[in-house]
């Protein structure tokens, strides 16, 4: 899922969370006509990619196998994102490609999963007429039955949101995995109701997964050779699970410690944190465990308090900066990244300058940067005119990118001469003579191969050179 340059140099060219990615179980798998096969593409945030692994597990129990060649598949699925308009446009284009495959192989079923399925169910089924299945993010258990319905020529649809579903008992099928890093979903949904965001409407209310099932999944991954897990949630800091037997409540700081204790060689990351909820207890827990990575993704969205209020972020500029100061006080070596939106409703040039100034103040190692895209049904779409011209949004976004690129380069230049513990993830994207891996601060480091090291090993690497997105170094014995 990663590349050598996964941050600014790549992200400045797109305005959606992530490019689509097709998955299969193995690089080469012999086609057996006695089995049914599915092909799946995922778009959007890490939660969608994690959900695709849950879907794969459910389909596997129903006799389906994953395959990389969509032309050979009996079922084509696309796991969708609705957070930005461009993501939806991409999905529509892909559906037309799938339809061509369907014409060549009659009987092939096409399904839309995830956030876009929930939001555009009527249009997908009645107007587009390109899909046989529409399945929301809380209805994946119904896939076997919905497939049976679709095979009879009827449309299979379930987009009902749940207040309980966490898929805690399902062991995800690790798709297209490097065998080293894995995602673990710890909660679903969101209660924050940011005015620009569709997630509460497409993924439902917040609910936390059984803490013991999370620890068990992490332990199983370690036993299978994985060496890094990322705990996922729309807002991990609001994780709260009550044990029905003891009545005890586990918060996010306590969950972090539980997962970190699985094994000292299992790295633990998490995403995403909310500035209003991240606590000093979480920060002190990170400081107490060497294997909890010194990296926090803390979206600011805007550096101006008035705009933050319009966004319903429930914090202001000073609150955010206080959280940043606490992070660096308790975790001096921590790297912080962010999400930034340019051109939100009524944003002035002065308020845009507040956002630009936040980047060096917070010293972000990198940011995901976008211009505002109005999403139907959100509070912002109902209350605030989308009154910033597109050319102004694009110009402001470019200015944000330029400042972040400069700060990222300075951030990385400060690492020259330092030595970091790096988890080898595999070969560099550009050369099989180099390894790639990440340090605790989530920075990608590329270095020449030496010795008998292999993916999954920890090595020490001295940084010799950098770009704004990547560190280059050499192995230290």
Q: What is the pLDDT of residues 205-253, one digit of tens each?
A: 899 999 999 999 999 999 999 999 999 999 999 999 999 989 999 999 9
How are beta strands 133-135 and 109-114 bridged, if at all? parallel
Residue 21 has pLDDT above 60, yes or no: no
Single pTM value for the model: 0.86
Secondary-structure class of domain 419-476 per CATH: mainly beta
Residue 17 has pLDDT above 90, yes or no: no
What's the CA gap between 60 and 67, in Å, rounded? 12
Domain 181-413 has CATH 3.80.30.20: yes
Give tens-digit pLDDT for 292-322. Answer: 999 999 999 999 999 999 999 999 999 999 9
% of the chain residues with pLDDT over 70: 92
Q: What is the dihedral of CA 20, 25, 26, 27, to 10 degrees?
A: -10
Distances (CA, A) of 339 to 2, 312, 355, 416: 18, 15, 11, 26
Tokens of 341: 């939106």
Residue 7 has pLDDT above 60, yes or no: no
Residue 64, sorted as left (phi over 0), alpha (psi -120 to 50) or beta, turns out to be beta
Mean pLDDT of the chain: 89
Domain 8-158 has CATH 3.40.50.12160: yes
Going from N- to C-terminal start, the domains of the chain cover 8-158, 181-413, 419-476
């Amino acid at each position: 899922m990663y590349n050598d340059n996964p941050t600014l140099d790549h992200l400045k060219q797109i305005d959606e969370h992530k490019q689509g990615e097709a998955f299969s179980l193995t690089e080469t798998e012999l086609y057996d006509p006695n089995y049914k096969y599915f092909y799946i593409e995922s778009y959007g945030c890490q939660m969608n990619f994690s959900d695709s692994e849950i879907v794969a597990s459910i389909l596997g129990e129903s006799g389906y196998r994953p395959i990389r060649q969509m032309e050979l598949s009996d079922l084509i699925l696309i796991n969708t994102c609705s957070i930005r308009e461009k993501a939806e446009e991409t999905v529509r284009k892909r559906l037309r490609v799938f339809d061509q495959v369907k014409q060549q192989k009659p009987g092939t079923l096409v399904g839309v999963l995830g956030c876009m399925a929930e939001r555009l169910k009527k249009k997908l089924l009645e107007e587009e007429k390109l899909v046989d299945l529409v399945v929301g993010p809380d209805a994946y258990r119904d896939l076997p039955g919905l497939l049976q319905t679709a095979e009879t020529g009827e449309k299979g649809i379930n987009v009902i949101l749940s207040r309980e579903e966490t898929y805690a008992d399902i062991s995800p099928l690790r798709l297209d995995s490097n065998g080293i890093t894995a995602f673990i979903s710890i909660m679903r949904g969101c209660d924050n109701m940011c005015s620009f965001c569709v997630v509460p409407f497409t993924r439902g209310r917040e609910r936390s997964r059984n803490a013991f099932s999370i620890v068990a999944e992490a332990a199983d991954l370690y036993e299978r050779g994985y060496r890094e897990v990322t705990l996922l949630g729309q807002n991990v800091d609001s994780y709260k699970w009550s044990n029905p037997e003891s009545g005890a409540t586990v918060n996010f700081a306590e969950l972090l410690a539980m997962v970190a204790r699985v094994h000292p060689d299992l790295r633990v990351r998490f995403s995403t944190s909310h500035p209003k909820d991240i606590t000093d207890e979480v920060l002190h827990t990170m400081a107490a465990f060497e294997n909890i990575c010194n990296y926090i993704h803390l979206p600011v969205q805007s550096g101006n308090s008035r705009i933050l209020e319009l966004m319903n972020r429930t914090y202001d500029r000073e609150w955010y900066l206080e959280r940043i100061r606490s992070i660096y006080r308790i975790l001096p070596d921590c790297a912080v990244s962010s999400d930034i939106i340019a051109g939100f409703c009524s944003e002035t040039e002065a308020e845009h300058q507040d956002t630009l100034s936040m980047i060096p103040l917070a010293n972000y190692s990198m940011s995901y940067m976008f211009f505002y895209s109005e999403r139907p049904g959100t509070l912002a779409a109902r209350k605030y005119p989308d009154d910033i011209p597109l050319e102004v949004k694009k110009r402001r976004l470019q200015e944000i990118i330029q400042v972040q690129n400069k700060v990222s380069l300075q951030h990385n230049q400060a690492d020259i001469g330092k030595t970091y513990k790096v988890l080898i993830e595999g070969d560099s994207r550009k050369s099989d003579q180099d390894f790639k891996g990440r340090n605790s601060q989530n920075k990608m480091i590329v270095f020449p191969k030496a010795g008998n090291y292999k993916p999954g090993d920890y090595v020490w690497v001295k940084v010799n050179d950098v770009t704004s997105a990547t560190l280059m170094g050499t192995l230290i014995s």
